[in-house]
Copies of this chain bind each other. A is one copy, B any other.
Amino acid sequence: MHHQQLNIGLFGLGVVGSGLLEVLKNSPLAGIQIKKIGVKTTGKPRPVPPEMLHYNPLDILDDPDINVVIETINGSDEAFDIVSEAMRRGKHVITSNKKMLAEHFQELIDLQSHTGVTLLYESAACAAIPIIKTLETHFANEPVDRISGIFNGTSNFILSKMTREKLEFDAALAQAQALGFAEQDPSSDIDAWDAAYKLVLLAAHSHGILVHPESVLRFGIRHIRAEDIQFAQSKGGKIKLFPVCSRNGASIRYLYVLPALVLPSDPLFHVEDEYNGVNLEPLYSGLQFFSGRGAGSLPTGAAIAGDLAVLQRGFQYKYTKHHLNGHSHLGSDLDICVYVRGDKNLDFDHFLFKNILEKGENYRVGVLSAAWLQANQGWLNERQVFIMRYAF
């Protein structure tokens, strides 16, 4: 498919879709044309000729002339219907929908190999950072020990604000919402779902494991308080929401998302506000660090344009690590050193600490098993306990 004419059906004209239009208007790609745009709401002012707009998805999916579908809508179920139907009809797909991808990952990869079409999603993980292409090309064959980072700009913005301005969580969240860095319902970001979706996507390319996001051990920043930030500062560090996939030998993988104490020697320490960062630790190349904008109209639009450019050159994800390590599975024997902070009535005897490194009036630093944390996630969140990875 070298320099085949690409006729695009774009679904969604929100922040991402209009960013893509802007990028392609100013830096057009030869042989690429947006033919139809699928939207939902009628009567809204739109920056495109009205004849391009279509309100029935089938107007696009039925069009034999359209060979690429770009999906940028909200709502993962509807997105999955559009994406999977487009693929079944032989259309290539580019999507930025991390939730949809993470929840249907195996199905979509299978669909890709059955239909022979190409599915690309660089913008779905850390928007402007081309980490998936990097894993798929340069590091396709080099074993990766660990991938970690800051994958969620909203929570990083809130944590940066709390740290710099000594705010409590609610005040920082309200400011993030006022500035458009957090949604009115912020749960996907602050409960670490968004970071978990991205971790699921990246772990497939870095470590070859396909995991459902529900299986990922996950604590967010909803229960953080100014005193936790102060605790981190007393250790010389900052708190970042930290997704990680690591390996133990050839076949065992650990994935989790936890707030984490990060020290100045870690490049992630310096990633502030809405920026994202990735620490990649390939076996031979040593620590690689990438940072860039994790969201925004133009950065995300440019990431989709980047996918279009490589699609035109015939680029496909090969999932080499998955083919090499298809037998890999999620390990269950991981111990994590954590800081646990509750209210004054929290009884720390309920925690199965393997050892305790430090005690405070309402916190402990000690080692818990990942399995225990996962099994007790429900009541820990109900009791508003804040959990943070503590590691030097």
Contact = CB atoms under 8 A, between A and B. Distances in A.
A299 B270 contact: no
Interface in A283-302: 283-293, 296, 298-299, 301-302
A283 B23 CA distance: 9
B142 A27 contact: yes
A353 interface: no
A386 B138 CA distance: 39
Most buried by B among A23, A288, A310: A288
A216 to B, nearest CB: 27
Interface in A263-278: 267, 270
Interface stretch (A101-109, A127-135, A219-227): A127-135
A90 interface: no
A303 B288 CA distance: 12
A330 interface: no
Contacts of A138: 122, 130, 133, 303, 306, 309-310
Contacts of A309: 137-138, 140-141
Given A130-B138, A138-B310, A267-B270, A292 B303 contact: no
Contacts of A318: 313
A289 B291 contact: yes
B310 A284 contact: no
Number of copies of this protein chain within its complex: 2
A305 interface: yes
Given A137-B137, A141-B27, A302 B290 contact: no
A169 interface: no
Interface in A146-179: none
A114 to B, nearest CB: 20
Contact of A292 (B27, B283, B288): B288
A29 interface: yes
Contacts of A326: none
A305 B128 contact: no
A282 interface: yes
B288 A301 contact: no
Interface in A41-61: none
A143 interface: yes
Contacts of A270: 267, 270
Given A137-B315, A284-B298, 12 more contacts: A23-B142, A23-B284, A27-B283, A128-B285, A130-B139, A137-B310, A138-B310, A142-B305, A267-B270, A267-B291, A285-B303, A289-B291
